[in-house]
Amino acid sequence: MYINPKNLQRYTVGVLVDNEPGVLSRVAGLFSRRGFNIESLAVGPTQDREVSRITIVVLGDDAHIEQLVQQLYKLISVQKVQVMKPRNSVERQLLLVKVKAAITEREGLMRLVDIFKAKVLDVTKNAMTLQITGDNDKITAMLGLLEDYGILELVRTGVVALERGDGVMNSDLFD
């Protein structure tokens, strides 16, 4: 499906699926064959052993996201789909990053750790491994600052998100 690059927006989509082999491939395959770009994807079990939750960040426009949601509902393994509105939801991702940290650099790094409420997971003579959680902007900002020290290695989880408030994810298939 063609999407004009000018209209691309970021959408966070939560999907409840049957916890069974192959389900991730079904969902990911649907995204790729319908021409959606997955920016990040995170999957894990939920409080119900038989249900997993996938959070996908995808680029598109409103019409395409509507189409995507309806296509997701056609998958037998998909139970519920929710497009999360940024203002009405909380999202987090986690970053582990190993940066160069000679003795002279450590103090500056520790100040950054404080400001960003990061955690130091490991220190050696030459490097520090940090953990940072936050939304996309915060992680990007932290990475920007760490670049000055020299990033040796990094890994980030996909975004996970929940809607704010008392409501829980539900769906009404008929509209």
Partner 1 sequence: MKLNGAAILIECLIEQGVGTVFGFPGGAVLPIYDELYKRQDRINHVLTAHEQHAGHAADGYARASGKTGVCIATSGPGATNLVTPIATAYMDSSPVVFITGNVPQTLMGTDSFQEADISGMTMPVTKHNYLVTSVEKLAQTIREAFYIAASGRPGPVLVDIPKDVQIAETEYTPATGDELIPALSMKRSLAQLRPNGEALERYKVKAEPRLERAAQLIAEAHKPLIYCGGGVKLSGAEAELLALADRADAPIVSSLMGLGAVPADNDRMLGLLGMHGTHAANIAMQRCDLLIAVGVRFSDRALGNAASFASNAKVLHIDIDRAEINKNVTTTLHITGDARVVLDLLLSRVSQKHHDQWMQQARSMIEEYLSDELFEPRKILKAMSETAPGMTVATDVGQHQMWTAQHFPFLRPRQLITSGGLGTMGFGLGAAMGAACSDPEGRPVALITGDGSFRMNLTELSTIAYYNIPVIVVIFNNGTLGMVRQWQTLFFGHRYSQTTLDRGPDFMKLAEAYGMEGTRVDNMDALKATFKKAFDAGKPCIIECMLDIDEMVAPMVAPGSPIDSFCLN
Residues forming contacts to partner 1 in the complex (CB under 8 A) are: 21-22, 25-26, 29, 33, 63, 66-67, 70-71, 73-77, 79, 173-175
**Type of residue at 119:** K
CB 139, min distance to partner 1, A: 33
Q: Between residues 76 and 123, which has the closer beta carbon with respect to partner 1?
A: 76
Q: Closest CB to partner 1 among 63 and 123?
A: 63
* Beta carbon nearer to partner 1, 31 or 149: 31
Minimum Å gap between C-beta 8 and partner 1 is 19
- Minimum Å gap between C-beta 63 and partner 1 is 7
